[in-house]
Each structure stands twice: as C-alpha cells, then as structure tokens.
Amino acid sequence: MKMTARLVAGAVAVGAMLMPNLAPAQSPLAPGVTMDFRETMRQFVQAISAYGRSLNPNFIIVAENGLDLASKPDPQDDTLLFPARAYIRSIDAVLQPNLLKSLAPGDPKEDPAITAARNQLSTNVQTAKSLGVDIFNLEYATTAKEIDQIYAASAKQGFTPFVAASPVLGRIPAYPKSAYKANPTSLNDATQAKNFLYIAHSQGFGVTRDFVQAMSNTNFDVIITNVFHGRVPLSKLDVERLKYKKLGARRLVLAEIDVSSAATYDYFWQAGWAQGAPEFINMPHREDPDRYRTLYWDPAWQSVLYGGTASYLYGIFDLGFDGVVLKGLDGWRYFESGGEEG
C-alpha cells in the first residue's frame, strides 16, 4: 500500500474511534489532576524511539529543542538535578536552534533567572555529549564573516553545525559553496556527521524531481526534510536518491515530525476536527491559527504518530528514511506555564 493511502487510512481509523467533543478545550487536565509535563514528554520520546528501533535497530532519533529534557530533579530533593538517562539513551542527537547565541555570556546585570537557564543549558550540553549524544546546532546568518565565525565556534564546541539564512529553511545556503567539512565518507550513524542541511519547505525547488536533484548535487552528511513535497509525499525512489552525496558516498536522510501540534493542512487532519474535537486537539498557536497544540500524552494522538502500520512513523520507515527529527519537544512549556505563549 502506498504511504499516502496507509497514513490517511490510519488517521481515519483513529478518528473513528473518537467520540467528537464540540466543547472548546479549556483545560488539558481534569480538576485535581496534576502532571509532570516534562517527564511525560520524555516518556513520549522514549516510546517513539522504542517503536522506531523495533522496526530498525539503527533507526535514528534526533530531538529538536530536546536539551531542556536532558536533566530531571531528584525525587527527594527537587533542587538537585540528575541526567535523564532513559531519555538520553533513547535519542542519537539533539538539534538545538540558536544554541551558540543561547550559550553566549550575557550582560552582568541580566536577570539571574536568565543566567541560571544559560548555565543549565550548558550543563545539559555537556551531559548529552558525555553520554554519546551528538549536538546539532542550527544557527542563522547572512554574511560570509558571520557564517565563518559560527562554523569556527561550532567546531570549537564540538557541535555539528548548519547555518541557514532564515528560519524558513527553504533553500541551500549560497555560502559556503560546498558543505562545511565536506567529506567522501559514507555514514552509518549520526555521530559520524560533520555537517547537515535542513530543508523544511522544499516547494521552492520546483517539482519533486528538481528538489531531489538539487539535494543530489550536494555533499552534506545529513539531510533533514519533510515527508511531503507540497501535498505530495516523497516516494521510496526519491528517498533512495536523497541518500547519496554528489561524491557518491552514503549519507543519512531524516524526516521531521511535529509531536505536539497538528495543523488543518496536515495529511492526517480529518473533516470535523476542531479545537476539542477530538479531545487531543487543544488551543491554536498564536503565530499560526491553523496549527493546534495537541495533548501529546493522549494515547489517541500518540497512535496517529507511532505504534502501527497506519502510523506516521511506520510510513516514514517504509519509505526508507534513516530516522526522524522530533519537532515540538518544547511543547511541555505551554502546559507547564498554564497556557502562556513563549
């Protein structure tokens, strides 16, 4: 069965199991119920990872914005933090936007809470690295001088970098002309990567074959992209072609999945879905009203993403992707803050 048919069939099956609730979703939890939103997100990632690796033991899991989950409080003393080892072992790498900027020393007069957050981020970086997790840093710059400085700083920190011109992530940067530290080596896992390319929106390349050809003309070690080129999913042949650098060596191709939101333009969105119907559809994002936050701990939502042959993750595996980049791992912040937009 083709990926489109399987994914849509799975979404229909999930929707059929749910009783519509037309009342707006005001609170994600029943009165008196509490939840550790961070730990729930860790467990979600661990479950996704376990399923992916049950399909392929070498399936790669990259946690975007996942560094804040790398430590957890001691059950007896919440002022003490320890590595979240089960979570860290379930992932191969973290992808952190603006990491260098976030780690840069601030004004001596800055809010102590900001300083504490920076120090904790630095600790989480070191914790992840010490446990064998690679750090992909995604930065933004437009001038050659800025780009060179970012790559040099990334190398000093031991990060795997990509410098994009803008957060749109829709094109290959004009500078440098070749991939940073391009090499002829074939890759088996994420820790071998020297660089990566993130194309979240591929429509600007033209039709699918033009996008695939453009990627084939590059020597990036890792390509991260969307399963869909516009409204059309990539084919197995497309993914297979993406796996080879211009130099001929094998690279890794990863698909992005947003684990904490669903949009009206997503392939699995069903007629009749709206805020509160099904119950896992929560509040719309302020910056994109067509994209809704999901109750990511809801089993019905999770079954859309993984766990069966009609799930999104199985479709990605079936197409031949080497793994996934899990977006939306910072979705816990919204619920932990009581509904405040970041």
- For the stretch 171-182, pLDDT in tens is 999 999 999 999
Within a 10 A sphere around the Cβ of 17, how many other Cβ atoms?
10
For Cα atoms 219, 166, 222, give the angle at the middle one, nearest 5 degrees.
25
The H-assigned helical ranges of 79-143 are 85-89, 99-103, 112-130
pTM for the full model? 0.90
User: For 233-270, what is each residue's pLDDT tens digit?
Assistant: 999 999 999 999 999 999 999 999 999 999 999 989 99
pLDDT of res. 342: 60
Predicted confidence (pLDDT) at residue 9 exceeds the cutoff of 60: no
Per mean pLDDT, which range of 11-25, 182-196, 273-287 is the poorest? 11-25
pLDDT of res. 23: 38
Predicted confidence (pLDDT) at residue 14 exceeds the cutoff of 70: no
Distance, CA of 184 to CA of 40 (rounded, Å): 41
Q: Please state the rounded mean pLDDT for residues 301-319.
A: 97
Q: 76 falls in which pLDDT band (50, 70, 90)?
A: confident
- Amino acid letter for position 113: A
CA distances from 101 to 125, 145, 152 (A): 14, 16, 14
Distance, CA of 2 to CA of 265 (rounded, Å): 20
Determine how β-strand 232-233 pairs with β-strand 228-229: antiparallel
Predicted confidence (pLDDT) at residue 11 exceeds the cutoff of 60: no
Tokens of 206: 């033209």
pLDDT of res. 339: 78
Q: Please state the rounded mean pLDDT for residues 32-40.
A: 88
User: For 121-171, what is each residue's pLDDT tens digit?
Assistant: 999 999 999 999 999 999 999 999 999 999 999 999 999 999 999 999 999
Predicted confidence (pLDDT) at residue 26 exceeds the cutoff of 90: no
User: For 97-120, what is each residue's pLDDT tens digit?
Assistant: 999 999 998 888 888 889 999 999
| Of residues 91, 58, 318, 63, the one with CA closest to residue 188 | 58
Tell me how many helices (H) and strands (E) the chain has. Answer: 11, 15
Question: Quick one: what percent of the chain has pLDDT higher than 70?
Answer: 91
